[in-house]
Amino acid sequence: MGRNTAKNDGLDKRARSRIVRRHKRIRTGLVYFALLAICIGCLVMMPFINRAQDKQNTWAIQHGGVEIAPADGEGTPEDEQPLQGMESGDIRAITLEDVDVPTPSAVPVETPTPEATEAPTPEPTEAPQDVAITVTAAGNCTFGGGQKRDAYKVFKQAVDRYGTDYFFEKVRPLFRQDDLTILNLEGPLTDVGAPANKGGSCYRGDPAWTDIMTGSGVELCSVANEHILDMGEEGARRTAQALDEAGIGRCGLGEVYHAEIQGVRITALGFDRWNDSGSQAVEDVRRERSGCDLLIVNAHWGEEKRGEPSEELRALAHALVDAGADLVIGTHPHVFGGVERYNGKYICYSLGDFCNGADLAPADPRAMIFQQTFVITPGDSVRDGGINILPCRITGDARKNDYQPTVLEAREGAALLKGIARASNLGAETLWMADSYPESIGLIAGSGAAPEETPVPEEEESLVGTEFAEPADNVGSDWEEVDGADLSLEGGEAETPAV
């Protein structure tokens, strides 16, 4: 009985398992049937849904008119009247595909014209304004002098007694009224360095004596000369330091002066025959020309005690102008020379001395100051605004050297101007500055009369139209001794001598 019971229990389990599996198959079948029924129902209902949608988009023609059929639940307006040629109730429904709807013609719509807006007027670009720059140039200045000749001691006594403002007292207003004053500083200002082996002609001054220049409006010194190295390279470096600390520019010995005055870019170069060659000087002028509006050359050249240049030196001066120099200032001979107008530019071959502390009793105290006003359009052109030549003496006391450069009075000044005129080639086209010295004493046509208290002698000559003269005993140049140098400017560019 126990076995039968166990057997029956096994049969019941198998039967239940079959029943469970059968029920699962039935449920699965019902799910599939439900899904199938839903799909069939959707397919059956789709036409009805589309037909209901089409009903909303149906067009109706009534009495020949076209109108949009009203939506369900809305009636036809009572005041709508049948159109002519159609019976009331003659209505048939059509779809959009059955109607040829005319395309409405485009009605041009006038576009409003925008109100005219006045264009802003561009501000006119201002043309570069002309600028007048006045340059004053004076000659050799030796502050101090040689130790063995007591020149340094005597000059220092004058500094200690009168102060540094004493020396340029009589030319200070002239220097302060211009834009740029240039001197040739012939001798170092140093408290260091060893004297060169030059005997009594080895010069030296104190660094503090830069106040002689700063107190009187001197802005630039050329240090291109044979005495700047009298205390060796160390003395030259100390001089450069003293000038820099005093705010005085310098050119020469490889230094180029650059400054901007009233918006005008000014460059100054310094050359001397001991440290530079003529060909290098010309090349340096060409190099610097494009970077400035006004270019000035300081040339320490010529032969001592001879104011007039040789033909070789004159050719070099012309080459400097042709290379781009606007003004050439010559120094070294210790006597005055002529002024030449070449291609619209001026060349001063020698200004003479100016403040000579190295010579207690100078043989020729005559000198000159040269001035020129340049009318400059920055970045464009340089025009001559007129020149001025002021005859001077390097001392205020005609009997001795008191170190005070002085512009001469009319009678003595006219006599010196006559000598300058004989050595110069200015021409009738020369333009003189307003209130120039020659005009003030009546030496220029159309100028005012000379002061009554110092009348000009009738025999004095006018500076206008004076031709260049070459005295036989006044010719020479330290730059001319070059074998085979072709300095002719005719038929091409001059070959400049090397020194």
What digits encode the pLDDT tens for the residues 346-360? 999 999 999 999 988
| Domain-embedded: residue 196 | yes
Residue-averaged pLDDT of the chain:
79
454: number of Cβ within 10 Å: 13
Whether residue 177 contacts residue 136, with contact meaning beta carbons closer than 8 Å, is answered with no
User: How far is CA 465 from each of CA 5, 141, 338, 379, rounded to the nearest angstrom?
Assistant: 162, 32, 14, 33
| Domain-embedded: residue 31 | no
pLDDT digits (tens, 9 = 90+) for 128-163: 789 999 999 999 999 999 877 789 999 999 999 999
The residue with greater pLDDT, 29 or 103, is 29
Q: How confident is the model at residue 41 (pLDDT cuts 50, 70, 90)?
A: confident
Given a cut of 80, whether residue 421 has pLDDT beyond it is yes
| Domain-embedded: residue 347 | yes
| Domain-embedded: residue 53 | no
- Tokens at 319, concatenated: 């080459």
**Phi (first) and psi of residue 143, to 5 degrees:** -95, 105
Q: Which residue has the tokens 């503090």?
A: 208
CATH number at residue 339: 3.60.21.10
Given a cut of 50, whether residue 120 has pLDDT beyond it is yes
Lowest mean pLDDT of 249-258, 295-304, 448-457, name the range. Answer: 448-457
Given a cut of 70, whether residue 74 has pLDDT beyond it is no
Domain count, the chain: 1
Q: What is the structure's pLDDT at 107?
A: 56
| Domain-embedded: residue 450 | no
Alpha carbon distance 123, 46 (integer Å): 76
| Domain-embedded: residue 469 | no
Alpha carbon distance 267, 252 (integer Å): 12
- State which residues form the domain around 410: 131-440
Please list the alpha-helical segments (H only) found in 163-304.
Answer: 172-177, 211-214, 232-246, 278-289
Mean pLDDT of 58-83: 46
Lowest mean pLDDT of 8-12, 66-70, 183-187, 329-333, name the range. Answer: 66-70
Q: Helix 311-323 and helix 278-289: axis angle, to 10°?
A: 20
Alpha carbon distance 245, 247 (integer Å): 5
Compute, in degrees rounded to 10, the torsion defined by CA atoms 74, 80, 84, 87.
40
